[in-house]
Amino acid sequence: MAEEELRTGRIPRFDSSSAKETRTYIETLTKPPGSLGRLEEIAIELAGITKKPFPVVDPPGILVFAADHGIAAEGVSAFPQEITGQMAQNFLRGGASINVLARQIGAAFQLIDIGMAQDIQDPMLISRKIKTGTANFLTNDAMTRQETIKAVHTGFDEATIFIKENGLNSLILGEMGIANTTASSAVIAALGNLAPESVTGQGTGLSPDQVLHKQNVIRQAFKTHTFSTDDPIDVLSKVGGLEIAGMTGAMLAAATQRTPILIDGFISSTAAVAAAKLEPAITDFMFVGHHSTEPGHRVANEWLNKEPILHLGMRLGEGSGASLAYPILQSACAIVHEMATFRDLENY
């Protein structure tokens, strides 16, 4: 059977004309030039992304992909694999951190099973399971290339539907999957030809000795695999995760619709790097919500040339940091829509 061709969609150009119009307008607002700092730059970026000099990001949506990882069998996480399914059920009950934050910012929320080991039957869950978790990449490829492409397409299709059905003007990507920081560390190290220890941290709360073990597992895995560093599908298929591939596709879908993308932590930024390797223009449509304490997150953000909006010492995932950053984007839009200009003062 012939391999399915990868679909990435058509990424539009950042609209410099709208961005310039917004920059010029901001200079007329009742404040000293540049006094709102980065908030002004965010408003200008949003104008270029949306092709609207007066951009809006309401309403937001949060799309969370859940999947399991075979590498968890190597003891690289402080929690057992069963936690993925338990947390998924917590998401569906509305009890997770991301549920609380979604309610706070008025975001639509959707959980997608793209590869959990456990089968959960719930009307609130979208089941698009590619397989019941990846293989243990210490000894095998995590996925076949075809499974990876299918996961990217699943993320693309689900994000397209989610954005259109909810009339979204911004998209936050989240994930859940025990051992996914190990997969993300492996992906970033492989794509950047980096030493695993430079991008591998404590994940769910490992001790220093456990972190060393996690780094060693990735080093040993790299002896098993050879990578095409310019081919993110190759890297994802060998050491990645289904939820990482799904988020990659979702980001591509958002960009095709000129929907601003709020990247979360390390796993989300790993997907962002994969998406940018596929379509470099996509970085113009991204904001990084926060700086995770995971060392690989700094490397990913440097590669994306993105400065995180918040620095809160977080490492939860789920889309939590990005959700906290969303009101900053909201405020950037508000200053353009609602602040008076100096000409307005003359007419009072």
**Are 186 and 94 members of one domain?**
yes
**Are 140 and 33 members of one domain?**
no
**Are 130 and 146 members of one domain?**
yes
**Are 235 and 107 members of one domain?**
yes
Radius of gyration of the chain (CA): 20
Output the pLDDT for position 89. 97
**Are 190 and 299 members of one domain?**
yes
**Are 228 and 317 members of one domain?**
yes
What confidence tens digit (pLDDT) does each residue in 258-276 have? 999 999 999 999 999 999 9
**Are 26 and 174 members of one domain?**
no
Is residue 123 in some structural domain?
yes
251 - beta bridge partners?
none
Is residue 22 in some structural domain?
yes
Output the pLDDT for position 138. 98
- Please state the φ and ψ torsions of residue 177, each to the nearest 5 degrees: 180, 110
Output the pLDDT for position 1. 38
Output the pLDDT for position 264. 97
The Cα–Cα gap between 149 and 269 comes to 19
The Cα–Cα gap between 256 and 272 comes to 15
Instruction: Report how many domains make up the chain.
Output: 2
The Cα–Cα gap between 113 and 133 comes to 10
**Are 166 and 104 members of one domain?**
yes
Is residue 93 in some structural domain?
yes
**Are 318 and 343 members of one domain?**
no
Between strands 125-127 and 286-288, the pairing is unpaired
**Are 340 and 315 members of one domain?**
no
Is residue 6 in some structural domain?
no
Output the pLDDT for position 3. 62
Is residue 2 in some structural domain?
no
What confidence tens digit (pLDDT) does each residue in 58-113 have? 999 999 999 999 999 999 999 999 999 999 999 999 999 999 999 999 999 999 99
Active-site choice (243, 318, 338, 346): 318
User: Residue 50 belongs to what domain range?
Assistant: 16-54+334-347
Q: Per residue of the chain (348 residues), give pLDDT as tens.
A: 356 799 999 999 999 999 999 999 999 999 999 999 999 999 999 999 999 999 999 999 999 999 999 999 999 999 999 999 999 999 999 999 999 999 999 999 999 999 999 999 999 999 999 999 999 999 999 999 999 999 999 999 999 999 999 999 999 999 999 999 999 999 999 999 999 999 998 887 899 999 999 999 999 999 999 999 899 999 999 999 999 999 999 999 999 999 999 999 999 999 999 999 999 999 999 999 999 999 999 999 999 999 999 999 998 999 999 999 999 999 999 999 999 999 888 877
Is residue 3 in some structural domain?
no
The Cα–Cα gap between 102 and 168 comes to 14
Is residue 270 in some structural domain?
yes
The Cα–Cα gap between 39 and 335 comes to 9
- Cα Dmax for the chain: 73
Catalytic (active site) residue 318: yes
How far is residue 275 from each of residues 26, 87, 233, measured CA to CA in Å?
A: 32, 26, 10
**Are 132 and 220 members of one domain?**
yes
Is residue 271 in some structural domain?
yes
**Are 158 and 293 members of one domain?**
yes
The Cα–Cα gap between 151 and 115 comes to 9
Pair 294, 266: CB distance under 8 Å = yes
Q: Where residue 34 sits, what CATH number does that domain have?
A: 1.10.1610.10
The answer to whether the predicted template modeling score (pTM) of the entire model surpasses 0.85 is yes
Q: Where residue 205 sits, what CATH number does that domain have?
A: 3.40.50.10210
